[in-house]
Amino acid sequence: MKAFLIANPKGGSGKSTLSTNLAGYLAHTGASVMLGDVDQQWSARRWLATRPHHLPPIQTWETGADRVARPPKGVSHAVLDTPAALDGKLLERVLKLSARVIVPVQPSAFDMWATQDFLNKLLSAKAVLKGKANVAVVGMRVDARTRAAAELDAFFATLDIPVLTHLRDTQLYVQAASAGMTLFDLPPSRTARDLQQWQPIIDWVQQG
């Protein structure tokens, strides 16, 4: 089983958007996918409850802050959405399950400061130091025309980890989420630009 951890201690960084859409992509490949939600707000779990039955299935991975069990046999891929302030023993437990960690970052000073502190902890974790978990970052809700986007690029340039892509700020994510859907469930004519932005994430996920 390949497990993907979506993590950032800053609330509202785009973790649920990234995790649900990644699970949606994997489901469309025919994989047996579970989406776990350690966040006590249960955003991903509530989203799953609204997902139309005719779409590629995504199973619920029953997890909690005090119980992060391995998914059952037969699951090929798992995506784990995590809470704000992820730290300590909980961080260690979820890292043990995860082959790859994606850190979403929004283009604001508060998000970048919080992310830098988190990355320092993440990169010193045993699973990462031993090469058992690879880490990358993704820019979220980025408008390339803004000064904030330039500042985010400058921040990313200081990191010694892969920067996969920038995902633009679009209502498509909001509209899809409210219907229990992902970009990968929408007509390609509506999502071509966004799917192009997702391609580096897909390539990274498929490695190894």
Q: What is the pLDDT of residues 163-205, one digit of tens each?
A: 999 999 999 999 999 999 999 999 999 999 999 999 999 999 9
Q: Which CATH number fits domain 2-203: 3.40.50.300, 3.40.50.720, 3.40.50.2000, 1.20.210.10?
A: 3.40.50.300
Quote the pLDDT of residue 71: 64
Tell me the C-alpha distance between 178 and 77, whole Å.
Answer: 24
Residue 87 in this model has a pLDDT that exceeds 90:
no
Quote the pLDDT of residue 147: 95
Contact 173, 104 (CB under 8 A): no
Q: Going along 70-170, which residue ranges are E strands? A: 77-81, 100-105, 134-142, 163-168
6 residue type, one letter: I
Least confident of 7-16, 78-87, 130-139, 146-155: 78-87
Helix, strand or coil for residue 142? strand
Helix, strand or coil for residue 200? helix
More confident residue, 86 or 185: 185
Contact 136, 103 (CB under 8 A): yes
Contact 61, 36 (CB under 8 A): yes
Residues 17-27, buried b or exposed e (16+ Cβ, 10 A)? bbbbbbbbbbb
Tell me the C-alpha distance between 172 and 187, whole Å.
Answer: 11
Domain boundary assignment for the chain: 2-203
* DSSP letters for 151-186: HHHHHHHT-SS-EEEEEE--HHHHHHHHTT--GGGS
More confident residue, 62 or 114: 114
